[in-house]
Each structure stands twice: as C-alpha cells, then as structure tokens.
Structure 1
Amino acid sequence: MTAKRKKTLTAVGAVAMAAVVGLGGTFAWQSINQTALNEAAAALNPGGRLHDDFDGRNKDVYVENFTAAADGTVIFARVRLDEYMELGVDAGRNQEADDRSVDPVVPGTSISDKDTWITRTPGSASPFAQYWTWDMQGGQTVYMPTFNKNKDSLKADINGSYEGTDAADDLHYDDYQTYTPGQQITADATYDNDNNDVEDDNVRVEEETHTAANTINGTVITMEEWAARWEAYQTAVEGGADPETAAADTQVKGDFWVWDADGWAYWANPIQPSTATGLLLDGIELINPPSDNYYYGINVVGQFVTADDIGYLNGTGFYDEEAGKLPTENAEALIELLTGQDISITRVVVESVTGATTVKKDSSLEFNVNVTRNGAAVEEPEVTWSVAGNSSEGTKFVTPNKGDARLWIDKTETAKALTVTATYTDVAGEAVTGSIEIKVTDPPAEVSLTADSTVYQYGTMELEASVRDGLDNSEIEGATVSWSVTGQTSGKTGVESTGDRTATLTVGKDERSGNRITVTASYYDPNAEQTVTAEKTITVQEAWQAQIQSITPGDADTFVTIDGIKWKVLAKDGDNALIWAAEAVDVGQYDLTSSVWRDSAIRTWLQNWLENETRILKTVAQETQLQTRDSTREIGDGTLQDPNYNDNVMVSSDEWITTTDKVFLLSEADLFGTYNGEAADSRDYTYGSQLTTRYAQRAYTGKDNSAWLRNAYSNSSRQTSSVPDSSVDRWQYMALLSEQGSLRQDGIYGPVDAAYITKEHDILPALWIDFSMD
C-alpha cells in the first residue's frame, strides 16, 4: 500500500526501539535477562530513550526526551508491550536447539521469534493472567537521565539486570539502582559525531554530571475512554469554544497514556526536552508459580516521532508496518491533535474477492479495491489495474472494471509470483497505488477412485486410483497414492497398498452390517505443493456366506448378491452351495458347429467370464464333474415317423461325456426332470435329481427372452407341440428356458423354438461355491 499525502515534510526523525525482560524459574526466581531489541534502523533517533527499570518485581516503563532543554526537540511516543511464557526443562535455555523440551503457554509462539509474542491489550483476558498480574494504573518514579545520548543508538536504557548469585550474594539484580531526587552521578556520556545513522560509527564521549529527577506523574486510560472525550471536544469546538479551552475542559490532552485496542499506548502530550513521561507499566507480580521450569518475557517496543515527521510520508515511525500496526482512526485523531499536523492520507488496498493469495494456472482470480481518504471510504473509485512479474502475455486482466477486476493466469505462465496493482488518482492529483502479491501454482492433479459401492463383511475389494495432470488431464505416470480408511467399527478392517495406485480393502468379520466406511486415495502433487484426494463411501453388507446360510434351497424370492449379480440357491452340501444366476450375465452363441457341452464355445466363454469378470466367485468356485450326452449321435432320417418307432434314428443318445467345470449351464433335467421331453437319466442331473419344480423357481430376468441350457433338444420340426418326428438332426437344436420358467417346447408358452446353436440367447451361469467363513 502506497499512501500520498497533502504535502512534503522535512524528515527529522522516526525511531523504533525495544527492551525485553525475561524471567525464569523452578518454583522460584532463577534468572533475569534484559536485552534491547531492534538495535538498528534506517532512521535518526530524535532524542527519545525507552527506559525499563526492573528489580525483580517493580517494573517501570516510561520514555525520556534526552535532548537538552535549551536546544532540544519536542517528541511524541507510543509504546507496546508483548508477552511470552514457556514451561518445561529447557524453559529460557538452549534457544537455538531444535530439540528444546518446552511448552509455550500460547501454542504457536516461540521464544526466538518475538513476532509471535502476544500483545497485551486493554480489557482482554491475557493468557498469562493465571500466572502474572500487572500494575498499569500509571504513576511516577525517580530516574537518572540517560548517559546514552547517541541519536544513532536505539538501545533501551536498562536499570536492573540479572547477574547471578552465590552463597555470599543472594541479590539477583546487583546493578539495579534506586535514585533520589537531586542525586548526582558523574560518568561518560556518549554522543553521535556524524550525520549518518550507523550506531557505533564516529562517536564521542564526554564526561557529564546528571541529576536524578522525578518523571511526570501520569495515568493510563483506554482509547475508548479517550474517544468519548474527543467527541465532547469536537462538540465544544463546533459550538464556538476556544480549542485550547475546550482541550483543557474535556481533557483530550494531558499527562496520561492512551491505551488503544491494538495494544499501542500513546503519551497524550508532547514530551519536552529533559523530561520523562509518567509510568505506563509500574510493576508485575507472580501470583501463581508454575510447577515446572518456566520463562516469562515482556518485550517493550517504543516508537518516537517529531511533529513534522510522524512517519506517514516514508513508512517510518508510527507508520512502520514492520514494527507494528498502523495507528487506528482514533489514534490518528489524537496524533493530529497533539502535533498540529493534518494527516490527510489516501490509502488503496487491493484484495482478492475470496481472500485467496494463491491462484492456479489456467484459471482466474477476482480482485477488488478499497480506497479511503482520511479513513472515509471513496465511493466507486476509478482505478487502473496492472500486473507485473508475468512471463506470458496470456496472463492478463479479462474484466478490468472501475473497482474490481478478474485476472486470467495463462496455462503457460512460468512465474511463481505476480504483483497485482490498482492505481488511483486522488483529489490532489497524485497517483496512489495499492498492490498485492499472489502466488501462482499449477492446478493440482486430479485423483479418481474406482471401487464398488458395497462390500461384504469378511470380504475384500480391489481398489484402483487414477492420477491425472491438472493442466492437460494426462495420466501421470509413476504417480503413487497412499490409502486410508475411516469409519470402520472393526479393528480388522483396513486397506493395504498393492501397487502404485492399487490397494485391497479387507473388511473384518465383525464389521457392522449397514456401516458406511470411507476409503481415501491421497496424492501429493509436488508442482501444486498440495495433497489431493479422492473418496469413496462404501456400505458394508452382511457377509454373503451368512446370507447363503439363511436361504432355503429352492427359495424363489430370496437371492444373494455376489460380484454384483443376484443368485438363487438351488442346493447345499455341507459348506458348499449350488447357485444359479437369477439374471442374465450376457447374451451369446452356444457354438458355431457343436451342441456338445464339452466342445462348445459357451463353455470356454464361461470359464473366461469366471476368471476375468468376477472377483469373489473365482476364489470360491468348486470343481464339479458333469456328464452330458453325446448329441452328435442324434441324427434324423428325413421322415415324419415317430422317432420312438423308427430304428433308423437315435431318439436320445446313450453315449456320455464327462467334464470337470467350475462354472456351467444347468441341464433340462436339473430344471424339468427330462431330456428331450422324456424322463431323464440320473446322469443328466448336476446334483442327482431335479432342482426346481415350480415356474417361479425357474423364472429369471433376461436380456433376450430365452436362456441356454446345457443339452441338445428338439422333437419336432413342424412347429407343433409335443409331436416328435424323425425329420431333423437333433444336435442342431438346444434346450432353452423362457424368462417365465418354461421349457421352450412346453405347449403353454408357445411352440417349439427352433434354436439353432448359432443364435444368441441369455447366459445363466451356475456353479458350486464354498460359503464357509473359516
């Protein structure tokens, strides 16, 4: 933010200095460490010295104007008090060690980073109040004017520092001195002897005698209290009162500190040469000693200015944003009153609409601008927008309006950071700018997760993730994801990586049925410097094994779903169950040339289906021995004779072929108890006898209107019901099951279906499976 003011002033001086007090102990005081902070700054000290007197309990904080009364400069001051406390073995020690054993009272603060220390503010509940109480009622003390008159020096004047104790010396603060008014000390005073601002460069030393004196007797009020006085003062002046009289009557100026809500306290009077302010802090007291080693620090930060350079011109003094927050609107009113200066400030603040400071390539970010003049908002400010630092011409504003704009980041942009600037011309004709720096990142990779929506108790599920580039959507080769699962109720439910982007989810036997667990695949994108994830919520179902246990064989209404397919339970034999698809898994041909099960293409198709299209079934399917007739022997002679009375044809082959299969089709005998419409041989059955007796048991949900059975079938070429003849070769025809559960030559649901083996019909797999849960 750059602010333009009404006029150019002469820079006389603006300074920031600080002192820190550190207290430590184990059930009692152990150490005291006081050092000055900010011992270098590119600004001339106008003559202010921050005093910090401490004897272990009585702590006085005040400001001295050390310039001579005859030729000195009036100064103005503000002071801020920051706190820090830590507990633990290394409290106050080993500050540079990475393995310090300490617990800060306020998480996130650090003894070595005073920017993290907590500023004491009025009316706030200090997080350290359980240990320490402060006296901030004001007051006065006797002080010895500083001998450090080097205006390049920003060191605080310390009275009282810990020097250790021994058996013969129990004093913690040997160098703390108590002064009485009129007491004199002769010592060397240090002066600056050049015009630069280097502290120890070209100094001179002169012997001087200084006389102790009382500070001003001051008090402390809050900015809220002062604001009420300010309102009364303005009302009086607007009513015609003399400003000086009104100031005295309303007490808007005087010997007191005004403590603002941001923690800065302003001395409400000019500080005359060779005088010192009243006390801001008059003492601290440990009221609740910790039961562990501790360190407690107070960092006292002071800033001083002269009336003709408050610091708003060059960002120093009270307007040094690196040293603290800028004066609030009420504080500026107080400063103007004290200094007689008109702080006319135009501020331009640029922010993203969402508050984001990071933008991805191949996307946009919208900005708005807030312009204020002396704290009052400028309505509908007209600004011009610009972007700096970009490498691509495609990175540009696409909607630059008066008070807002949208910046597009080209996908080829290589810059890591951009500066967005809004320029406003104020009433004085000066260009005022506000800027914001934004970080440019690659769009994060996109992770997708492939998984079923349900999983069984005591079951597993294979998971697979895909990771694609956020810019061009290409697959990121070699990307490795990590896996996690949440929401489980069983300690045996977990996910284990099986490859760069694959994993197996294992569900415990005791996982609660109906529970919803969430599987997450995570990928850290080094280009976008962030972790991207994909989630899948999966519902746990009762174990399919348990479901089978509860199903009565032949139940036409209760199914078990395995591998996404509904199955009927036709028989059980110990821990094995014969299951049959209640819905077609596909449609296909039986074969191109043969109706023999052993040689059929559909048998090979089912084997491939089991291995490649199922996850659970292929692991539990049991080998089954099947016997089917050699249908190639069933050849007609072209006559219309009843085949049962024609010696030239074989009605039903009596030659058998044995196969071993894990998946198969059911036979006509399994469902109807017949072969070619005639009583079946025991070898025609899969399990020794007929498995279904009702249409409902045989009905299924199909893609076609008929499903293949395992054996050949035809006893009519004249498309009439149940009238066999010898005109056809029976091996060219197959037994079919209608969706309603009838054999296709039934006489109820239609005439014979001349189902050549090359046609496509529904496929209903059957298989014996192990449903044990051992």
Structure 2
Amino acid sequence: MKQFNFLSRITFKKRYIIPILLLLVLSITSAGTFTWTSISQRAVNETRFEELPGGRLHDDFEGLNHLTRQQGRTNKDIYVENYSSENILARVRLSEYMEVGAGAGLAENNHATPLSGAGLENATLANHNSWAVVRPGGYLSDATTISSLRDYVTLHLGDDNSRPKIFMPTFNQNNQSQESNTTGRGLETLTGAYNTNLGISMPGTHDQWSLGQTHTSTLRTWDVRNGEEVLTSDVTHTAQATVQSQHGGYMTMNDWIALGRPMGNFWVHDNDGWLYWATWVPANSATSLLLDVLEVNFSDRETFYGMHVESDLATAEDLDTWQGVTASASDLLNNIIN
C-alpha cells in the first residue's frame, strides 16, 4: 500500500494558518461518475440476446463524524465491479479541491479561496473538472512540486490484503446508467443520493458487509429491444470478497516499466493521474481497492475539502473511445488484451 504523506511540510503550514482562523466548517464530498462504453450490444436471434457487458464504480465513505477535531483516519474504499459475464478493462482518476475562508464549501456567501500550492489556481468549487488531479508521489503537474494538499490529506492507495474487502454486488446493472455505487457519506453526483440502490443506509465502513451476507432490493437492468430500464423487485444478492491484490495493489507507471511491465491484480498510476487496473476485471468480480483510507489533518479552520472520482470501463473492442491514453498506458492495455 502506498501512502502520500509529507510530514515535513505540515509543521510550517500549521504555524502559518492556525493563528488567523477561528472556526471550522468542514465538508468532504465523494463524487463518483461512471462512464461505460460498449458497442457489442447485439441480438443473437429474435428471442435471445447476449448479456450486455457492464461494470460499476464503488465508493464506500465513512465520513468524518467519528473523528476528534477533524483529525485522524476514515474509511474511503474505491474499487470497480464487473457485474457481467464478459471481461472488462478499467481505469479510474481522482481529483481534489480545497478552499479556506469564510463560507468555504457554500454555494452562496462564499468568500473562501482555493488552497495555494495545490494546482488549484483556476479551480472552482462547482466545476469538478477544474479540480487538481491526484498524480504519482503527490506531485503537481510539473512533476517536481509536492501538492500542498498532502499537508492535510494522506491518501492510502492500494490494498495489502491485510483486511479483506467484502462488498455487496451492485443492484444497478443498467449499463446505460452513469451512476456510481455509493455507501455511507459517498455522494452520487448525478442523483445527489447516498447509499445508492440499496433501500437502506450503510455506514460506509470497510467491514460494513460480511462474507455470505444477503440483501434484497430492486434490480435495475437495460432492455435493449425496447430501449428502456427494467426494474425487478425483490432480487437478492450475496456479499463477496474483492480479488486478492498483488504488489501491494498499487505501483506507479515508472515502477511498472522498471519491473518489466508485469500484469496482475494491482493499479498502475500513470503520470497524468489515470490509474489502470493491470489485468482484466473478470466476470462477476471486483478489483482490489484503489483507495483504502484517508488520513486527514484539518485542525481548526473554516475549510472545505472534496474528492471527485471518475472511471472509464470498456470491453477490448471499445478502448478507442478512451481519451488521452498515454503511450505507456497504451502499452499496458495492449499487454492485457494480447
């Protein structure tokens, strides 16, 4: 498991900011967007259709209410599920935003300013696309400067298998839906909902489900022939474990190249911020954790911090729809396919 933590910078930042701040208003949002691309939706004959490929981004977030003075560790599990019977490929990108000052995080009467030294010079609270992309080593886009965000939030990337992750397979199997699957305080941005498609509230903790536990809810699927979503009530799913990770579940693209371009159950963090699952996501399974824990240190100030999560999932035939794939990432994907 890789940790982005740079303690030598925290002391200076605290001495500078704490004396001038009087109030803490903290909000962390987890926004998941999911993009599915598939052109292999075809009829076999008039009465039988092949199952559509599909996957779902999961975001289990515990929130901050259990922390003292907004400092400590909180669960933030991000992983990808393949709910279909066809292998798929996956990549995920994280981006962050933080602002400090009166009205931080509010839509109105907001006089806060984005955190300096975090790559947020042109960022705004409302535009997630303007937020700072999380890059290997915690660096900004210049690849030499450590983001000041790392003074406040440590990202525990990867999965060392020390705590098996048990998840409930998604009830949203509509592969035309771009919604993510969230629990706890993970916010699904397209719908503004928490605990999506479950019908109950969950804590968003790492161990919120037990292996073999069942849950019944309404299943969402897509009817290709009629071009509409189908809702099937009283469908029961059984909790299962994510796959076991290798190499600690995470490495940078530079590490991947230096190690001879291995394939396996781990995420590869490219220099542009995209994290690629380094093998197929098998049918009816889920990747190991991309992100496991947030360790926060916001102290006493009026602050907003947000993390946005987006994913691209596709079959091999549809990879040409992915935008901005670097040469190294293209090599990785070709190694998987071939």
CA 1:41–1:308: 2 relative to 1, 3 Å: closer
For the residue of structure 1 that corresponds to 2:260, the secondary structure is: helix
1:161 aligned onto 2:161: no
Q: CA deviation at 1:214?
A: 1.1
1:193 and 1:204 in contact (8 A); partners too: no
d(CA) in 2 for partners of 1:83, 1:280: 16
Question: Alignment identity in percent?
Answer: 34
Where in structure 2 are there 5+ consecutive unaligned residues? 1-21, 42-51, 64-73, 140-145, 188-199
- Among residues 227, 236, 239, which one is paired with 1:209 in the alignment? 236
Question: What's 2:147 paired with?
Answer: 126
One-letter code aligned to 1:302: S
d(CA) in 1 for partners of 2:36, 2:329: 26
Structure 2 counterparts to residues 129-140 of structure 1, below 5 A: 129-139=150-160, 140=164
CA 1:306–1:196: 2 relative to 1, 3 Å: farther
State the superposition RMSD in angstroms.
2.7
The CA deviation string for residues 570-597 of structure 1, in whole angstroms up to 9 with x for no partner, is xxxxxxxxxxxxxxxxxxxxxxxxxxxx
2:31 and 2:308 in contact (8 A); partners too: no
For the residue of structure 2 that corresponds to 1:230, the secondary structure is: coil
For the residue of structure 1 that corresponds to 2:264, the secondary structure is: coil
- Among residues 266, 281, 288, which one is paired with 1:271 in the alignment? 281
Question: What's 1:762 paired with?
Answer: none
Structure 2 counterparts to residues 401-416 of structure 1, below 5 A: none
The CA deviation string for residues 472-508 of structure 1, in whole angstroms up to 9 with x for no partner, is xxxxxxxxxxxxxxxxxxxxxxxxxxxxxxxxxxxxx
One-letter code aligned to 1:135: H
d(CA) in 2 for partners of 1:303, 1:39: 5
d(CA) in 2 for partners of 1:202, 1:50: 19
Q: CA deviation at 1:127?
A: 2.5
d(CA) in 2 for partners of 1:81, 1:103: 21
CA 1:331–1:35: 2 relative to 1, 3 Å: closer
One-letter code aligned to 2:132: I
- Among residues 199, 210, 221, which one is paired with 1:180 in the alignment? 210
- Among residues 262, 266, 272, which one is paired with 1:262 in the alignment? 272
CA 1:196–1:261: 2 relative to 1, 3 Å: farther
Structure 2 counterparts to residues 303-702 of structure 1, below 5 A: 303-310=312-319, 312=320, 316=321, 318-319=322-323, 326-340=324-338
CA 1:328–1:39: 2 relative to 1, 3 Å: closer
Q: CA deviation at 1:293?
A: 1.5
The TM-score normalised by the length of structure 2 is 0.71
d(CA) in 1 for partners of 2:226, 2:327: 34
The CA deviation string for residues 586-637 of structure 1, in whole angstroms up to 9 with x for no partner, is xxxxxxxxxxxxxxxxxxxxxxxxxxxxxxxxxxxxxxxxxxxxxxxxxxxx
The TM-score normalised by the length of structure 1 is 0.32
1:110 aligned onto 2:140: no
1:91 aligned onto 2:104: yes
The CA deviation string for residues 149-186 of structure 1, in whole angstroms up to 9 with x for no partner, is 111111000011289xxxxxxxxx96325001111111
CA 1:122–1:271: 2 relative to 1, 3 Å: same
Question: What's 2:219 paired with?
Answer: 189
d(CA) in 1 for partners of 2:112, 2:226: 42
Q: CA deviation at 1:100?
A: 2.6
Q: CA deviation at 1:146?
A: 0.5
Q: CA deviation at 1:147?
A: 0.6
Q: CA deviation at 1:281?
A: 0.6
For the residue of structure 2 that corresponds to 1:128, the secondary structure is: helix
d(CA) in 1 for partners of 2:56, 2:318: 18
Question: What's 2:79 paired with?
Answer: 62
For the residue of structure 2 that corresponds to 1:58, the secondary structure is: strand
Q: CA deviation at 1:269?
A: 1.1
1:226 aligned onto 2:226: no
CA 1:280–1:196: 2 relative to 1, 3 Å: farther
Structure whose alpha-carbon radius of gyration is higher = 1
For the residue of structure 2 that corresponds to 1:158, the secondary structure is: strand
Question: What's 2:175 paired with?
Answer: 151
One-letter code aligned to 1:133: T
The CA deviation string for residues 486-544 of structure 1, in whole angstroms up to 9 with x for no partner, is xxxxxxxxxxxxxxxxxxxxxxxxxxxxxxxxxxxxxxxxxxxxxxxxxxxxxxxxxxx
The CA deviation string for residues 314-373 of structure 1, in whole angstroms up to 9 with x for no partner, is xx2x23xxxxxx111111111111012xxxxxxxxxxxxxxxxxxxxxxxxxxxxxxxxx
For the residue of structure 2 that corresponds to 1:282, the secondary structure is: strand
Question: What's 1:50 paired with?
Answer: 57
d(CA) in 2 for partners of 1:88, 1:284: 23
For the residue of structure 2 that corresponds to 1:149, the secondary structure is: coil
1:84 and 1:111 in contact (8 A); partners too: yes
For the residue of structure 2 that corresponds to 1:107, the secondary structure is: coil
Question: What's 2:12 paired with?
Answer: none
One-letter code aligned to 2:103: D
1:81 aligned onto 2:94: yes
Q: CA deviation at 1:38?
A: 6.3
CA 1:160–1:195: 2 relative to 1, 3 Å: farther
One-letter code aligned to 1:185: H
Structure 2 counterparts to residues 725-740 of structure 1, below 5 A: none
One-letter code aligned to 1:227: I
CA 1:27–1:55: 2 relative to 1, 3 Å: farther
Q: How many residues align?
A: 264
1:31 and 1:162 in contact (8 A); partners too: no
CA 1:195–1:111: 2 relative to 1, 3 Å: farther
For the residue of structure 2 that corresponds to 1:226, the secondary structure is: helix
Q: CA deviation at 1:196?
A: 7.6
Higher relative contact order (CA 8 A, sep 6+): 2
